[in-house]
Copies of this chain bind each other. A is one copy, B any other.
Amino acid sequence: MKAGTKNRILEAGAEIIHLKGFNHTGIQEILHAAEVPKGSFYNYFKSKDDFGLQLIDYFVEYYTQFSKGILEDAAIPPLQRIRKFLEWFIEFFRSKDYAYGCPIGNLAQEMGDLSPAFREKLKTALDSIVDIYARLLAEAQQGGEISQNLDVREAAYFLVSSWHGALVHMKAVKGPGPLENHIRFIFDHVLRG
């Protein structure tokens, strides 16, 4: 099945590139992991760059769909949903020995300076992630959970960008400390009522 093969290539590439980076990963390696014959790559992707750009869409779609389970749970107040989601990530990274980090953040760091096409797509990807949190913070503000004076878009931007930095540090210390520290400062200082 065509759609199945394309998806297998994206899934395998997501895993390897998430860990090793885009430039350090070869197409061969991805196809081998996906158990797909070499020739078929170009049936689905025009080039390695085209694959990388489609991979960004794949990551954003995955994140958006996956995050809904916690972030759209109306039974929990919006701020608590954000905290629960970030704490879920700490457990997730614990299970991955504190490796990987955020694929979008990683690619922004690696490719932002090297490819205008990647940069444009990553900028849009980061914006769409910030949007998710801006909506939740607006909801929290309407419910009186956070100050009316807070610019929710700026706060959401800081929440996401500082999380990306915490993930970089997590990879260096191989422990949850930077993520726990991030949650502490975001909730005790930035988002306090």
Q: Is A176 interfacial (CB-CB < 8 Å)?
A: no
Q: Is A110 interfacial (CB-CB < 8 Å)?
A: yes
Q: Is A178 interfacial (CB-CB < 8 Å)?
A: yes
Interchain CB contact under 8 A, A165 and B110: no
Interchain CB contact under 8 A, A171 and B105: no
- Say whether chain A's binding surface is mostly helix, strand, loop, or mixed: helix
Interchain CB contact under 8 A, A126 and B172: yes
Please tell me how many copies of the chain the complex holds: 2
The distance from the CB of A121 to the nearest CB of chain B, in whole angstroms, is 9
User: For the side of the interface on A, what is the size category?
Assistant: 35 or more
Interchain CB contact under 8 A, A110 and B182: no
Q: Is A5 interfacial (CB-CB < 8 Å)?
A: no
The distance from the CB of A20 to the nearest CB of chain B, in whole angstroms, is 7
Interchain CB contact under 8 A, B19 and A171: no
Interchain CB contact under 8 A, A113 and B99: yes
